[in-house]
Amino acid sequence: MGIRDKGLEIRLGAVQRRFGERIVIDNLTTRFAAGEFIAIVGRSGCGKSTLLRLLAGLDAAQGGQLDADGRPLKETIDDVRIMYQDARLLPWRSVADNVALGLAGKRDTARALALEALSQVGLADRAGEWPESLSGGQRQRVALARALVHRPRLLLLDEPLGALDALTRIEMHRLIERIWREHRFTAVLVTHDVSEAVVLADRILLIEDGRIALDQTIELARPRARGDAAFARLEGQVLERLLTVRALEQRNQIRGRVSAIRTDEVLAEIEVEITGQEGRHDKVVSTLTVRNLHEHALEVGSEVLAVFKSNAVALALVDGGVPDKTAKRATAKARAVA
């Protein structure tokens, strides 16, 4: 147990990343203490995965600083390991050889280390098999072992449990927490599941439009029980914040009234009637998941504000008719807020 085994302390200073015109990470500044477990939540497209790729060195920032223990993160990149959403095991290598991937030194020592890591995730008996014969949860456990075998000081988790069933996820939460407590690395978990964040994290960062919108410390005792009142309150707080669309911009908002709600098993369509200045009745339709609909408590007749991202608005000329500057057609998803 030397300094090698301590987690990395990470500092982000005014980090920026753009893709063309679009700013994905916008002057982001924060600090992750050594050994801290950070969860990053946010809607899809908010920049959370980009942030993780920056930390992993898979992508380069265009401005700002990324430091680890006071040195540029690039220099310590060998202490950083990442777990992806899919396990990304090499199908042509046995489970043990997958775990030993990239280990320097003799084959025998590498194999012994791999077996040790596999037994930590409870899969030592599957060492000789092909990845194809494993279940999704087992593959992710192998991927975890592959990351652990390098003794990372910063472990990045890019929604690694997203594709797993609920029961397997809970098992994985326990496993990850146990291993994190043993190894004391710094962990950064990107997830869209708020309860997962509350179970695992010391701190939850909510990212919105490339900025930190909420920095919530979780001080519940570990291991955390989901049924717990304090747990539920915290989860509710973060969810609430996540669901609130900040009035991003004054433009691209239309006030209207819900005129119909259609649902099938997964998706719901909410039709919003917009009363224009000349008594015209335009319609805006918002598609969201049924689960999302229940969280919103929308009903026919509710007064709502339809908010568009500017890149989701397509304009078409109204041919033949009276030139009407307010004629808009929103083609992509619109989000409605009660």
Partner 1 sequence: MRETAILPWQRLKTDIQRRLRGRGALPWLVPVLILAIWQIAVQAGWLSTRILPTPWAVVTAGWRLLLSGELLEHLGASTARAASGFVIGGGIGFFFGLINGGYRLAENLFDTTLQMVRNVPHLALIPLVILWFGIGEEGKLFLVALGVFFPVYLNTFHGIRSVPPDLIEMGRSYGLRGWALFRQVILPGALPNILVGVRYALGFTWLTLIVAETISATSGIGYMAMNAREFLQTDIVVLAILLYAALGKAADMVARALERRWLRWNKSFLAA
Q: Does 81 bind partner 1 (CB under 8 A)?
A: yes
- The residue from 20, 70, 91, 320 that contacts partner 1 (CB under 8 A) is 91
Question: By rule CB under 8 A, what count of residues binds partner 1?
Answer: 19
**Stretch binding partner 1 (CB under 8 A), from 3-11, 90-98, 114-122, 323-331:** 90-98
Element (H, E) at 27: strand 22-32
Q: What tokens does 2 get? A: 């030397």
C-alpha–C-alpha distance, residues 132 and 122, integer Å: 18
Q: Does 56 bind partner 1 (CB under 8 A)?
A: yes
Q: Does 57 bind partner 1 (CB under 8 A)?
A: yes
Q: Does 60 bind partner 1 (CB under 8 A)?
A: no
**Stretch binding partner 1 (CB under 8 A), from 31-39, 54-62, 215-223, 289-297:** 54-62
**Stretch binding partner 1 (CB under 8 A), from 81-89, 116-124, 226-234, 273-281:** 81-89
DSSP state string for 65-124: EEEETTEEGGGGGGGEEEE-SS----TTS-HHHHHTTT--S-HHHHHHHHHHHHHHTT-G
- Looking at the Cβ atoms of 90 and 260, the one nearer to partner 1 is 90
HEC profile of 187-249:
EEEECCCHHHHHHHCCEEEEEECCEEEEEEECCCCCCCCCCCHHHHHHHHHHHHHHHCCCCCC
- The residue from 141, 150, 153, 169 that contacts partner 1 (CB under 8 A) is 150
Q: Does 130 bind partner 1 (CB under 8 A)?
A: yes
Residue 92 burial (CB count, 10 A): 9
Q: Does 90 bind partner 1 (CB under 8 A)?
A: yes
Residues that bind partner 1 (CB under 8 A): 56-58, 78, 81-82, 84, 86, 88, 90-93, 101-102, 130, 132, 146, 150
